[in-house]
């Protein structure tokens, strides 16, 4: 365990309030006891989905075309990501799990029990669930962009831990996080594992974490997983695996974009690129055309030359010191970090 110094300079950014909320129906007691009926409340307006399409078109028509990495996570994409986490080359998930398992009691002592555990990017909720016995949260709030996936995971968890109140929130956090008023504000513990913070630029990460800091209120804190800088060959392999699962994950974004935008990307025309860029301290993923292609959507098109790339993801890697400083810049204090022996991954805790 490492203690880092504190500095301050919190920044504030505005964020939109577009999310899907998964609420528990409490009108049928029997149903709640057995099937724990879930109700989806769609809070996304037509204007929001129009904004999503607008962002996609802006990205596809930009001089350096890009697609937001949130388009990886449709139902199939979430399952492909799940497969990635089991690949021999993809070390972050199992390294983080090992850190959490090894230090769970120390973490529980540092963090405290009976808190409102807010899981950002919960996915299959496995990581948080592994902490339940030690952290004994009063409430569990699972947030994820893939709503279908959350529903299934929470259904299982509620049966396993009937004593913990659970809420699912389907929302896109790439524009910031806005929690509904129903989430208690005292004792919030934000849990942001998996190094998903790496998808933001360091500047965006600082504003996102400042936002979280502001939503912590009394006795709040953040438990966050961060992937560390390491040898290029290890990072390259982790994002370009031998089985081609990461390639499928990256290419699947095109299918998702086709269904959201009504475009006509042919996955077979594209190939996956994933590599570490040491200058930028980030892994980059791109999709590269095998030949000159024209892609159409209602109201527009883009011509791509052979070999042209669409940037689909950045995954920033940090040193323990640099990330500790980023947390301080976001207004957090009492920064503590746990790492594995190879120093490949770090779990940080900081108070608001
Ligand atoms: C879920 C964003 C942490 O950056 O390692 C895995 C996503 N992309 N393989 C990562 C990802 C390619 C992953 N995060």
For residue range 38-54, what is the model confidence (pLDDT) as tens digits?
A: 333 334 445 567 888 99
The residue whose CA has the least distance to atom 14 of ligand 1 is: 196
pLDDT tens across 130-177, in order?
999 999 999 999 998 777 778 889 999 999 999 999 999 988 887 778
Please state, for a pLDDT cut of 90, what percent of the chain lies above it.
74
The residue whose CA has the least distance to atom 5 of ligand 1 is: 315
Residues 6+ positions from 230 with CB-CB distance below 8 Å:
317, 342, 343, 344
Residue bearing the bigger pLDDT, 182 or 213 = 213
- Is the shortest distance between the CB of 328 and ligand 1 below 6 Å? no
On the question of pLDDT at 7 being above 70, the answer is no
Which pLDDT score is estimated for 148? 76
Least confident of 10-14, 181-185, 265-269, 341-345: 10-14
Where b means 16+ CB within 10 Å and e means fewer, 115-135 reads bbbbbbbbbbbebbbebbebb
Q: CB–CB of 311/348 below 8 Å?
A: no
Q: What is the mean pLDDT of the segment spanning 267-288? A: 98
Ligand 1 mean position, distance from CA 244 (Å): 14
Which pLDDT score is estimated for 15? 31
Closest ligand 1 atom to 194 CA: 3
- Is the shortest distance between the CB of 173 and ligand 1 below 6 Å? no
pLDDT tens across 121-143, in order?
888 899 999 999 999 999 999 99
- Is the shortest distance between the CB of 121 and ligand 1 below 6 Å? no
Dihedral of the CA atoms 81, 47, 260, 212 (nearest 10)?
-10
- Is the shortest distance between the CB of 199 and ligand 1 below 6 Å? yes
Where b means 16+ CB within 10 Å and e means fewer, 264-287 reads ebeeebbebbbebeeeebbbbbbb
The residue whose CA has the least distance to atom 12 of ligand 1 is: 239
Ligand 1 mean position, distance from CA 196 (Å): 7
Which pLDDT score is estimated for 52? 86
- Is the shortest distance between the CB of 194 and ligand 1 below 6 Å? yes
Which pLDDT score is estimated for 326? 98
The residue whose CA has the least distance to atom 1 of ligand 1 is: 196
Sheet holding 282-289: strands in order across? Answer: 270-277, 282-289, 309-316
On the question of pLDDT at 21 being above 60, the answer is no
Which pLDDT score is estimated for 289? 98
- Is the shortest distance between the CB of 187 and ligand 1 below 6 Å? no
On the question of pLDDT at 117 being above 50, the answer is yes
- Strand ranges in the chain using DSSP code E only, listed in sequence order: 2-3, 19-24, 38-41, 116-120, 139-144, 165-171, 188-192, 221-227, 270-277, 282-289, 293-297, 300-304, 309-316, 333-339, 345-351
Ligand 1 mean position, distance from CA 313 (Å): 8
Ligand 1 mean position, distance from CA 195 (Å): 8
Ligand 1 mean position, distance from CA 201 (Å): 14
What's the whole-number average pLDDT of the chain? Answer: 87
Which pLDDT score is estimated for 46? 52
Closest ligand 1 atom to 81 CA: 6
Q: What is the mean pLDDT of the segment spanning 71-97? A: 95
On the question of pLDDT at 23 being above 60, the answer is no
- Is the shortest distance between the CB of 312 and ligand 1 below 6 Å? no
Which pLDDT score is estimated for 173? 81
pLDDT tens across 196-253, in order?
999 999 999 999 999 999 999 888 999 999 999 999 999 999 999 999 999 999 999 9
User: In 3D, which of 248, 320, 312, 307 has the Cα closest to residue 275?
Assistant: 312
The residue whose CA has the least distance to atom 8 of ligand 1 is: 239
Which pLDDT score is estimated for 48? 63
Which pLDDT score is estimated for 132? 97
Which pLDDT score is estimated for 145? 79
User: In 3D, which of 100, 237, 90, 257 has the Cα closest to residue 81?
Assistant: 90
């Amino acid at each position: 365990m490492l203690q880092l110094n504190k500095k301050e300079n919190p920044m504030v950014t505005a964020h939109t309030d577009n999310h899907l909320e998964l609420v528990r129906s409490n009108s049928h007691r029997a149903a709640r006891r057995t099937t724990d009926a879930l109700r989806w409340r769609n809070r996304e307006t037509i204007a929001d989905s129009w904004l999503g399409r607008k962002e996609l078109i802006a990205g596809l028509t930009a001089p350096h075309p890009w697609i937001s990495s949130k388009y990886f996570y449709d139902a199939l994409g979430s399952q492909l990501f799940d497969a990635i986490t089991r690949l021999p080359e993809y070390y972050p998930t199992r390294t983080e799990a090992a850190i959490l398992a090894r230090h769970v009691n120390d973490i529980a002592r540092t963090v405290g029990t009976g808190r409102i555990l807010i899981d950002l990017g919960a996915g299959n909720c496995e990581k948080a669930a592994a902490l339940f016995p030690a952290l004994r949260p009063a409430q569990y709030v699972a947030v994820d962009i893939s709503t279908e996936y959350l529903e299934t995971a929470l259904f299982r968890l509620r049966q396993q831990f009937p004593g913990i109140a659970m809420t699912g929130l389907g929302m896109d956090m790439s524009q910031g996080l806005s929690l509904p008023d129903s989430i208690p504000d005292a004792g919030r513990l934000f849990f942001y594992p998996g190094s998903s913070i790496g998808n933001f630029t360091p500047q965006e990460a600082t504003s996102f974490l400042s936002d979280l800091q502001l939503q912590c209120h009394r006795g709040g804190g953040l438990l966050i997983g961060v992937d560390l800088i390491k040898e290029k060959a290890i990072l390259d392999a982790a994002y370009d695996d031998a089985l081609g699962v990461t390639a499928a994950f990256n290419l699947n974004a095109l299918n998702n974009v086709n269904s959201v935008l009504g475009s006509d990307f042919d996955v077979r025309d594209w190939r996956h690129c994933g590599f570490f860029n040491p200058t930028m301290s980030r892994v980059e993923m791109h999709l590269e055309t095998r030949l000159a292609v024209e892609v159409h959507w209602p109201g527009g098109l883009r011509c791509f030359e052979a070999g042209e790339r669409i940037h689909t993801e950045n995954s920033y890697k940090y040193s323990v010191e640099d990330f500790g400083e980023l947390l301080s810049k976001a207004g957090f204090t009492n920064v503590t970090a746990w790492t594995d022996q190879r120093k490949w991954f770090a779990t940080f805790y900081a108070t608001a």
